[in-house]
Amino acid sequence: MVRAEWAIFEEDYWAINNALEDLLHSSHAQNILLIDRTGQLISQAGEQVNFDLVSFASLCAADFEANYQLAKLVGEKDFSTLYHQGAKESMYLGKIVRGVVLVVLFDKRTTLGLVRLRVKRTVEELEIIIDGLYDKLEYRNEEYDDFDDSFAQEAEAEIDNLFVE
């Protein structure tokens, strides 16, 4: 069995993407990202961005995590949503389950109220998908486990090729 603590399968990936696309259209946001708490980008919907998405996801996770610790310090269980307001662009972050975070980037074409309202529904949808995904990981199908010796050998060769001075 693969040791990775979590994985995304084909049908869940599409279900997630559909939920993100629906939110994108119903909230009139520019961009929606789904990230996990370790800073890894799971999926994204919306316009092409002109910044580094991988770094962005990593910083969003750090932001959320730092605020989680702040919440604990002031006696809250967590801050389930965060809002960053800019002159033109704003961000709204919402906690889902299992350390997954939804990030919505939006501008003047919509309002915080509408984004907040639409996010609420999407969070519920995504919670069902993510919980289901974890259930699947517990009773996973062997056909997905294709990380055998040849994978390790190929990976090691790639590592040797890439990390040269």
Partner 1 sequence: MSLINYSSREINCKIVYYGPGLGGKTTNIQYIYDKLAPDTKGKLVTLATEMDRTLFFDFLPLELGEVKGYKTRFHLYTVPGQVYYNASRKLILRGVDGIVFVADSQDSRFDANIESLYNLHENLKEYDLDLTSIPFVMQWNKRDMPDAVAVEELEEELNPEKYDSFEAVAIKGTGVFDTLKCVAKNVLRQLQAA
Residue among 47, 49, 62, 128 that touches partner 1 (CB under 8 A): 62
Q: Is 108 helix (H, G, I), strand (E, B) or coil?
A: coil
Closest to partner 1 by CB, 42 vs 115, is 42
Choose the binding region for partner 1 from 22-30, 62-70, 82-90, 120-128 (rule: CB under 8 A): 62-70
Element (H, E) at 95: strand 90-95
Q: Is residue 37 near partner 1 by the rule CB under 8 A?
A: yes
Q: Is 2 helix (H, G, I), strand (E, B) or coil?
A: coil
Q: Residues 43, 17, 13, 81: is their CA dihedral positive or negative?
A: positive
Element (H, E) at 54: helix 53-73
Closest to partner 1 by CB, 97 vs 152, is 152
What's the rounded Cα separation, in Å, for the pair 81 and 3? 31
Q: Could you list the residues that contact partner 1 (CB under 8 A)?
A: 1-10, 12-14, 36-40, 42, 52, 54-55, 58-59, 62, 65-66, 69, 99, 144-152, 154-156, 158-165
